[in-house]
Structure 1
Amino acid sequence: MCEALKNNYQLCEEIGRGRFGTISRCFSPSSNNFFACKVIDKSLLTDPLDRECLQNEAKFMTLLSPHPNIVQIYDVYENDAFLSIVMELCEPVTLYDEILRNPICETRAAGYMQQLLSALAHCHRYGVVHRDVKPENVFLDSRGKVKLGDFGSADWLLGEMGTTSGVVGTPYYVAPEVVMGREYGEKVDVWSAGVVLYTMLAGIPPFYGETAAEIFEAVLRANLRFPTRIFRSVSPAAKDLLRKMICRDVSRRLSAEQALRHPWILGGGETTSMD
């Protein structure tokens, strides 16, 4: 543990655990506020790519802060053994927890999606692609505000076309061009956000299988369906947005900025006709 961290913060109870370390609640006597502290054990980082991703996480969060819908970073401490990131403390509730309770109504889903798209548009303006947008990485604060977190898989968009590469992400939410091993751009995040929206409204993801390979096959087919028994009460406007976000043709897929201007988002999820 870094001595400078101990000098400035009091570590409290553990509130989360990952492959490389723990997340604890911590208290700052100087500000009289609580924060979250992610402590990464460097001895567990045997893969150079893992080490690079976790180093980049702090850089990306610093670059993108402050934004009302991105988890804010406050301090970074590092020594030979540990990397510690002090960040905004969100409630231990994610969008995944909300979805598990019940499918989410359109007005609430539109509010969540507007905030998530705002966070992604902010990332993309800075040339950053998140690459692991999923309900588990969308935190909800005590007021129900969306906070996009976990930038461990994020990357820079490089070159004139603004692209990167690498098979990164979570099978249910990953875009087809990622699975195919091609270079790809910021719109992989929009695909993933579209899958999040579908899952909010339906309670299940649009593409699934028994194994990761089967899920990837379903993603590559990109056969987007709206089963009547599940989508009977979902508006045409919501389905229209889903088709334009979960679109296999990248050139026709909306950007985050374009999705923010879609009538369903602008109307707050009100069930209006698309005619």
Structure 2
Amino acid sequence: MALLQYIAIEVGQDTEAWFGFAGTPGYLSPEVLKKDPYGKPVDIWACGVILYILLVGYPPFWDEDQHRLYAQIKAGAYDYPSPEWDTVTPEAKSLIDSMLTVNPKKRITADQALKVPWICNRERVASVMHRQDTVDCLKKFNARRKLKVLLSKSQ
């Protein structure tokens, strides 16, 4: 939520289009990968990726091959596999969907995201079991990433 507030306040007045290519591959938005002019919606996309990871412990877009990873991102090809997503509310999934909308003009804004009931009304909190499952998935995912880095350095 703090990241969305920062984007709404600090970046809120910026209307210029940006160009160039920078960022961590799995967090890049389709418009950046297509080398289109881009603006604030790229940050919302990255927030959607972060939210997805925080909820289940692994990213929405992942492939060992960078070209296939970029193709997934450009197509907005992600899903909510069972069993990790079974305990996540439809409201949380809806917010992720609105943040990971391929067309940046249709993507939710930071101000709109801050008004989503799932963000505003936090009466229901994830169970301890769900949070532990997420931590376990994140550890496994990071272990695979570290192994990949080590293997690539040994070549």
TM score, norm. by length of structure 1: 0.44
Percent identity between matched residues is 33
CA–CA distance in structure 2, aligned partners of residues 269 and 250 of structure 1? 31
Give the C-alpha shift of residue 172 in structure 1.
0.6
Contact conserved, 1:264 with 1:270, CA < 8 A, in 2?
no
2:9 alignment counterpart: 122
Aligned CA distance change for structure 1 residues 181 and 227 (closer, same or farther; 3 Å): same
- Find the aligned partners of 1:222 and 1:206 in 2 and give their Cα distance: 9
Aligned length: 125
Which residue of structure 2 aligns with residue 164 of structure 1?
18
The match for 1:149 is none
Structure 1: give runs of 5+ residues left out of the alignment.
Answer: 1-113, 128-156
Choose from 113, 118, 121 the match for 1:259: 113
Distance in 1, matches of 2:85 and 2:12, equals 34
Question: 1:270 pairs with 95, 119, 124, which one?
Answer: 124
Q: Unpaired segments of 5 or more residues in structure 2?
A: 126-155
SS of equivalent to 1:209? coil
Query: Separation in 2 of the partners of 1:242 and 1:209?
Result: 20
Alignment-derived partner of residue 229 in structure 1 = 83
Contact 2:30 2:102 in 1 (8 A): yes
- Name the one with the larger helix percent: 2
Q: Per the alignment, in what secondary structure is the counterpart of residue 125 of structure 1?
A: coil
Aligned-CA RMSD value: 1.5
1:103: which partner in 2? none
**1:33-182 to 2 correspondences below 5 Å:** 114-127=1-14, 157-158=15-16, 163-182=17-36
Greater than 2 Å deviation, 4+ residue runs = 211-214, 268-271
Matches of 1:118 and 1:269, distance apart in 2: 20
Structure 2 counterpart SS, 1:205: coil
Q: What is the CA–CA distance in structure 2 between the aligned matches of 1:255 and 1:126, rounded to whole Å? A: 12
Task: Specify which structure has the higher proportion of strand.
Answer: 1
The DSSP-based 3-state class of the residue aligned with 2:77 is coil
Q: Contact conserved, 2:49 with 2:60, CA < 8 A, in 1? A: yes
Confirm or deny: 8 A CA contact 1:224 1:243 kept in the other structure: no
CA shift for structure 1 position 126: 4.1
Report the CA distance between 1:214 and its aligned residue.
2.4
Q: Which protein has the larger Cα radius of gyration, Structure 1 or Structure 2?
A: 1
Q: Which amino acid aligns with 1:116?
A: L
2-side partners of 1:242 and 1:225: how far apart? 11
Measure, in 2, the Cα distance between the counterparts of 1:252 and 1:241.
Answer: 13
Maintained 8 Å contact 2:53/2:59 = yes
Cα distance in 1 for residues equivalent to 2:111 and 2:98: 13
